[in-house]
Amino acid sequence: MPFRRFHPFHVGTFRFARALLRTNLRSALALRGSFWLQATFMILNNVTFFVFWWILFARVPTLRGVRLPDMEVLFGVTAASIGLVHTLAGGVRHLSRFIDEGELDTLLAQPQPVLLYALGMRSQPSGLGDLASGIGFLALSGQVTLSNLPLAALAVLTAALVFLGCGVAFFSLAFWLPRTEMLSRQLWELTVTFSLYPEPLFGGVLKLLLFTLLPAGFMGFLPLRVIRAATLGDVVLLALGAASYLAFGAWFFGRGLKRYASGSRFGVFG
Amino acid sequence: MQIVVDNLVKTFRVAERDPGMLGSVRGLMRRRQRDVKALAGVSFSVRAGELVGYIGPNGAGKSTTIKILAGILVPDGGRVEVEGRAPWKQRIAHVSRIGVVFGQRTQLWWDLPVVESLEMLRHIYRVPLDQFRAARDELVALLELGGILDTPVRQLSLGQRMRADLAASLVHAPSILFLDEPTIGLDAVSKLAVRAFVQRLNRERGVTVILTTHDMDDIETLCQRVIVISEGAILSDGSLADLRNRVTRERWLTVDVDDGSAEAITDSHATVIRRDGNRVCLAFDPQVVSPAELIRRVASAHSIKDLFVENPPIETVIARLYGSVS
Amino acid sequence: MSGYQAIVAARFRALLQYRAAALGGLFTQVFFGLVRIMILVAFYAASSRSTPMSLPEVIGYIWLGQATLLLIPWRNDGDIAEQIRTGNVVYELTRPLDLYGTWLARAIAWRTAPVLLRMLPMFVVAMLIIPPLLPGWGLARPPSAAAFAMWVACFAGAVLLSAALTTLMNVTLMWTIAGDGASMLIGSLASMFGGLVIPLPLFPQWAKPFLYALPFAGLLDLPSRVFTGNIPAQQALWVVAHQLVWTAALIALGRWLLSRGLRRLAVQGG
The DSSP string of B277-314 is TTEEEEEE-TTTS-HHHHHHHHHHHS-EEEEEEEPPPH
Does residue B260 come out as left (phi exceeding 0), alpha (psi in the -120 to 50 range) or beta? left
pLDDT band at B46 (very low <50, low <70, confident <90, very high): very high
Nearest CA in chain A to C18: A179
- pLDDT at res. A2: 36
Closest by Cβ to A30, choosing from B62, B91, B111: B111
Instruction: List the single residue in B with minimal CA-CA distance to C18.
Output: B28
A112: left (phi over 0), alpha (psi -120 to 50) or beta: beta
Say how far apart CA A83 and CA A127 lie, in whole Å: 4
One-letter amino acid of B162: M
> Across the interface, do B15 and A266 touch by the CB < 8 Å criterion?
yes
Within an 8 Å CB–CB cutoff, is residue A33 touching chain C? yes
The CA distance from B33 to the nearest CA of chain C, in Å, is 17
Mean pLDDT of B66-94: 90
**What 8-state DSSP symbol labels residue A89?**
S
CA A160 to each of CA A46, A78, A182, A219: distance values in angstroms, whole numbers, following the listed order? 17, 8, 22, 8
Q: What is the DSSP letter of C141?
A: P
- List the beta strands (DSSP E) in chain C: none
Which pLDDT score is estimated for C91?
A: 73
Could you give the C-alpha distances from C179 to A35, A38, A182, C165, in angstroms and in order? Answer: 12, 10, 22, 15
DSSP state at residue B186 = -
Domain boundaries, chain B: 3-7+41-245, 249-323
Chain A residues closer than 8 Å to C25 by CB: 182, 186
Number of domains, chain C: 1
Chain A residue whose CA is closest to B106: A106
Give the model's confidence band at B325: pLDDT under 50 very low, under 70 low, under 90 confident, else very high.
Answer: low
Mean pLDDT throughout C226-240? 91
Give me the phi and psi of B260, to 5 degrees please. 65, 15
Note whether C7 and C41 are within 8 A (CB): no
Query: Which chain C residues contact residue B24 at CB under 8 A?
Result: 13, 16-17
- List the 152-191 stretch of A: residues with Cβ below 8 A of C: 177, 179-183, 186-187, 189-190
Neighbours of chain B (3+ CB pairs under 8 A): A, C
Mean pLDDT of B45-52: 94
What is the distance between the alpha carbons of residues B321 and B230, in angstroms, rounded to a whole number? 9
Touching chains, A (3+ CB pairs < 8 A) = B, C
Q: Is the pLDDT of residue A59 over 60?
A: yes
The architecture of the domain spanning B249-323 is 2-Layer Sandwich (3.30)
Which segment of A82-96, B14-28, B90-104, C126-140 scores lowest on mean pLDDT? B14-28
**Residue of chain C whose Cα is closest to the Cα of A190:** C28
pLDDT recorded at residue A195 = 81
Number of residues that make up chain A:
270
Mean pLDDT of C93-122: 84
CB nearest B123 (choices: A19, A263, A270): A19
Average pLDDT over residues C230-250: 92
Lowest-pLDDT range, A232-246, B215-229, C76-90?
Answer: C76-90
Instruction: Kindly determine whether residue C24 and residue A48, on different chains, have CB atoms separated by under 8 Å.
Output: no
Higher-confidence residue of B170 and A264: namely B170
Interface of B with C (CB under 8 A): 21, 24-25, 27-28
Please report the pLDDT score of residue A267 as a whole number: 44
A111 to B102: CB separation less than 8 angstroms, yes or no: no
Q: Show Cβ contacts of residue A190 under 8 Å, excluding neighbours closer than 6 positions.
A: A214, C28, C31, C32
pLDDT of residue A256: 93
Q: Any CB–CB contact under 8 A between C19 and chain B?
A: yes
Q: What is the dihedral of CA A181, A187, A192, A194, to 10 degrees?
A: 160
A44 shares contact with chain C (CB less than 8 Å): yes
Strand partners, B79: B6
Label residue A115 by pLDDT band (50, 70, 90): very high
∠ CA A81-A86-A89, rounded to 5°: 105
What is the value of ipTM here, to two decimals? 0.78
Nearest to C24 among A44, A52, A183 (CB): A183
Q: Is B273 helix (H, G, I), strand (E, B) or coil?
A: strand
Q: In terms of CA atoms, which chain A residue is nearest residue B94?
A: A111
pLDDT value of position B167:
94
- Over residues A129-185, the pLDDT tens digits come to 899 999 999 998 888 888 888 889 999 999 999 999 999 999 999 998 877 788 888
The pLDDT of residue B175 is 94
> Considering only alpha carbons, which residue of chain A is nearest residue C36?
A197
Confidence check: pLDDT of B136 > 90: yes
At C159 the pLDDT is 93
User: What CATH code is assigned to B3-7+41-245?
Assistant: 3.40.50.300
Report whether pLDDT(A203) > 90. no
Chain C positions touching A177 (Cβ under 8 A) are: 20
Q: Of the candidates A44, A182, A197, which has its C-beta nearest C24's C-beta?
A: A182
CB spacing of B25 vs C17 below 8 angstroms: no
Distance of residue B110 Cα from the nearest chain C Cα, in angstroms = 16
| Nearest C-alpha in B relative to A102 | B105
CB pairs under 8 A between A and B: 110
**What pLDDT sits at residue A213?**
65
Q: Decide if pLDDT at B232 tops 90.
A: no
Longest dimension (CA), chain C: 65
The whole-angstrom distance between B28's CA and the closest CA on chain C is 6
User: Is some CB atom of chain B closer than 8 A to the CB atom of C13?
Assistant: yes
For C38-60, what is the mean pLDDT? 86
Starting at the edge strand found earlier in the chain, the sheet holding B251-257 runs B270-276, B279-284, B251-257, B304-310
Domain that holds residue C208: 2-268
Closest residue in C to A33 (Cα–Cα): C178
Q: Do B21 and C13 touch (CB under 8 A)?
A: yes
Asked whether the predicted pLDDT for residue A258 surpasses 50, the reply is: yes
- Verify whether the Cβ–Cβ distance B12 to A1 is below 8 Å: no
Question: What pLDDT shows up at residue A5?
Answer: 44
- Residue B144 — left, alpha, or beta (φ > 0 → left; ψ -120 to 50 → alpha)? left
The model's confidence at residue A255, banded by pLDDT at 50, 70 and 90, is very high
- Beta-carbon contacts of C31 under 8 Å, excluding residues fewer than 6 positions away, are A190
